[in-house]
Structure 1
Amino acid sequence: MRRVIATVYTTLDGYIDNPQEWSLSHATEDSGAFGFDLLRGSDALLMGRVTYEGFSQAWPSVPGEFADRINGMPKYVVSSTLGEVGWNATVLKGEVADEVAALKRQPGGDILMYGTGRLTDTLMEHGLLDEYHIWVYPVIKGKGDPLFRPGTRATLTPSGTRTFSSGVVVLSYRPQVS
């Protein structure tokens, strides 16, 4: 069965918004290789509407092997408001848990998600999120959108830690299924 992996960048004080403003100066060869390995192990992207809209505007014009991989992958978008989509994407219109469970049963590699929000909460509630990769950047932002939305509850089991030369640490967790 395929796994759903959520990967998200956060500041040390737990904020996730506008990572292009604070994460790029910490990009290193070792962190890039780790991120590309995650992407290579996946053969589909899963995202909510907001992530899809941002990514579909930015990634098609980005050059390079990483961007080529992202641009060429099938994308599954959870949205009740989007109609037609491009960028090799399909809108999942049914019940989110049922749609994602069906994707997980299909043959293939991991299904990768960038970011966290209502979709990751929903998947976790239904036992469909297999792993979090939380990239903690050595930056204190002081304000913004929090890593987890108020009311999010979960018990997580550590599954790995990776520290990069820039000081970025990836904390990996598996949600416990109750």
Structure 2
Amino acid sequence: MIDELGLAHARSRIDLAVFNGHLHGYEIKSAADTLGRLPRQLATYMGALQKLTLVVATRHLEAAAAIAPEWCGMTEIVEGPRGGITFTSHRRARVNPGLDPFMLAHLLWHPEAQNLLRARGASNADVNAPRVRLYRVLADEVPVRELAPAIKAAMASRTRWRDHPQPL
């Protein structure tokens, strides 16, 4: 689990990312939040995440559901009379049919992208290319069914994350 994971080189951050069977992001919108940034965030999330769940306060449920794609999970944050909260699932997340391998590849750090290309026998020109070119080559040459597990493995092997020890 990683909190505040930057996507598309920090163009957007997902509140919580879980890397188990899929790269699954959770975006949380409390009652104090607005949905003003959500359309822009969704555009990034739809390219970079295999699954997505919006976790929203009751006041945002209808509006968030109206703009979220059908494959996006919807969970409502319900506040109880004594201040406690419960979570009510309205729609389970499904696999994102529009995943963009180029955006997905952006989750790799430059040396990780180089190592993956090197392991696949890429040319020195491709391996030593600038970061954006590395991501393009990965997106064009590596099927998502291989790229996603490689990204999860790379993230799991990181010993430092934002100058902090690796998250859970």
| Pair in the same fold by TM > 0.5 | no
Instruction: Name the structure, 1 or 2, with higher relative contact order (CA <8 Å, separation 6+).
Output: 1
Higher share in helix: 2
Q: Which has the larger radius of gyration?
A: 2
TM-score (norm 2): 0.31
